[in-house]
Every structure is written in C-alpha cells, then in structure tokens.
C-alpha cells in the first residue's frame, strides 16, 4: 500500500508519494536568480537549509495564476527542492496493483501512472523523471 498527497494546480489534481515529501508549508517568496528557467522561482532559506523553489504550474505549462495565501510548498525529502502548488487537498492510499497506466500521452513522461481517488483518475508524478527534467545544461 502506498500513501499519496493529492495537490491541485489550475483546477487539475495530481498526486505524489508520501515518501518523497519532507514537509508541506505555506508558500514563501524566493530570492530570484538571474538566467534561470521560467519555472524556477528562486531560492529560499528554511531552518538554515537553502531550497530551490520550482513552480510546478509553470513547469507543466498550466495557465498562470496570481499568488494566493493558500499556495503551498512541498519540501522534497531527497533533494533541497520546494515544489510550489496551488493547494494540498487530501491524502489517499492505493495498492500498487491499483495504479494504472496513464492514457494521456502528453503526461506520460512525468506522470506514467494514475490512481483512482473519489471517483476521479489522478496522475501520479514520477519523482525520478521530474527531477531529471529539472536539470539544466
């Protein structure tokens, strides 16, 4: 059985495995860095550790939104990265056998599987593929 956090971006939901999450917190502004990617929101220091803020909405080419007090940052456990999302909505559990292949071709690279949650299929982010996609030359 795997545990997931369900998040939203531009009225779309996605899930990530709890083992990838160190902490969820309210979003903070980062210090911008010149010459960075559009989805790179800068750097922020949290309890003495420097995290890179990645705007998942921009990374996935979803419509822009204004900053909201409800925006959250998901601190990843294996990299000093904070994912900026609109909301953290729920938690969910699924057996590995319940995860299905993602039929949406454009999503398959980062979201190879989907899970059913409350009658809806929710893409599950593949953290290895996501982290690899954030590397720049």
CA dist 42 → 19, 53, 78, 90 (Å): 24, 6, 19, 27
Q: Is 121 exposed, middle or buried (0-12, 13-18, 19+ CB in 10 A)?
A: middle
CA atoms within 13 A on the CB side of 22: 13
The arrangement of secondary structure in 2-133, i.e. its CATH architecture, is: Beta Barrel (2.40)
pLDDT at 137: 45
Q: Are 17 and 127 in contact (CB under 8 A)?
A: yes
Q: CA 8 to CA 29: how far, in whole Å?
A: 19
Residues near 61 by beta carbon (within 8 Å), at least 6 away in sequence: none
The model's pTM is: 0.83
Q: Which of 12, 45, 48, 7 is nearest to 29 (CA)?
A: 45
Question: Residue-wise pLDDT tens for the chain (137 aa)?
Answer: 889 999 988 888 999 999 999 999 998 888 888 888 888 888 999 999 999 999 888 888 887 766 666 789 999 998 899 999 988 888 888 887 788 887 777 677 888 888 888 888 899 999 888 888 877 54
pLDDT at 66: 65
pLDDT at 26: 92
Q: CA 80 to CA 78: how far, in whole Å?
A: 7
CA dist 32 → 7, 40, 62, 122, 131 (Å): 25, 8, 21, 32, 20
* E runs forming strands in the chain: 2-9, 12-17, 21-26, 40-46, 49-55, 72-76, 81-85, 87-94, 100-101, 113-117, 120-124
pLDDT at 69: 67
Every domain of the chain and the residues it spans: 2-133
């Amino acid at each position: 059985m795997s545990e997931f956090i369900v998040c939203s971006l531009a009225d779309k939901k996605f899930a990530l495995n709890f083992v990838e999450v160190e902490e969820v917190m309210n979003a903070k502004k980062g210090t911008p860095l010149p010459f960075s990617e559009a989805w790179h929101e800068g750097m922020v220091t949290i309890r003495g550790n420097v995290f890179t803020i990645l705007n998942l909405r921009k990374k996935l080419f979803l419509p822009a939104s204004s900053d909201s007090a409800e925006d959250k940052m998901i601190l990843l456990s294996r990299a000093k990265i904070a994912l900026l999302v609109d909301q953290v909505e729920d938690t969910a559990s699924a057996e590995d056998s319940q995860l299905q292949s993602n039929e949406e071709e454009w999503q398959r690279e980062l979201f190879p599987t989907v899970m059913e949650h409350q009658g809806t299929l929710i893409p599950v982010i593949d953290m290895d593929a996501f982290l690899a996609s954030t590397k720049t030359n």
